[in-house]
Copies of this chain bind each other. A is one copy, B any other.
Amino acid sequence: MSLKYAVLAALLEGEASGYELSKVFDVSLANFWAATPQQLYRELERLAGEGLIQARVVRQERRPDKRMFTLTAAGRHDLDTFAATPPRRPTAIRDELLIKIQAMDGADPEDTRALVEEREAWARGKLARYLRVRERLLAGRGEEEYLREADRVGPYLTLLAGIALEEENLRWCARVREVLDRRAARGERPRPPAQDGTR
């Protein structure tokens, strides 16, 4: 049900093809609503059927044809109504890593550490991408200036949420590594190392 509005909201940025949307849902939108390409193509079909978006086929020379989609007035109106009403379901997070951390005390700490480092690298990458998107949005203006004057601030505010999330993620990963280190130091020498030269 909400994928529908995620798609409509994505089309606020302008005309896009299914393929382009699948890229957008991979970078910025994935931040708060994940969707696979299949889901998007299906949803676009549905929305076009409902008259909330309009399709036009663009013939291309050395590429397959593509269908570009635009919001209709009906679609924009539906989206505006959606934007003004309270969410009917709470935020859902599905994070496998946290299940693994919850159960980590039965696993090899070295394995756990590797998982955390992987997540850390991933978060760093995402954060870097978000920061680049932000620079592009600001286009040299200061944040306060932008927030006062820009036509649309929604996308910037969701971007801030994404940035904060990934920064928090990195801090948390660092903390977990610290704990892992400290416990490794404790556990790896059941007897303290010899101080008297006998070995």
Contact = CB atoms under 8 A, between A and B. Distances in A.
B2 A96 contact: yes
Contacts of A87: 96-97, 100, 115
Contacts of A83: 99-100, 103-104, 106-107, 111-112
A157 to B, nearest CB: 5
Given A147-B182, A164-B168, A103 B80 contact: yes
A16 to B, nearest CB: 15
A58 to B, nearest CB: 26
Interface in A17-48: 29, 31-34
A86 to B, nearest CB: 6
Question: Secondary structure of the A side of the interface?
Answer: helix
A98 B164 contact: no
Contacts of A105: 151-154
Nearest to A110: B84
Contacts of A155: 102
Given A102-B158, A172-B160, A91 B82 contact: no
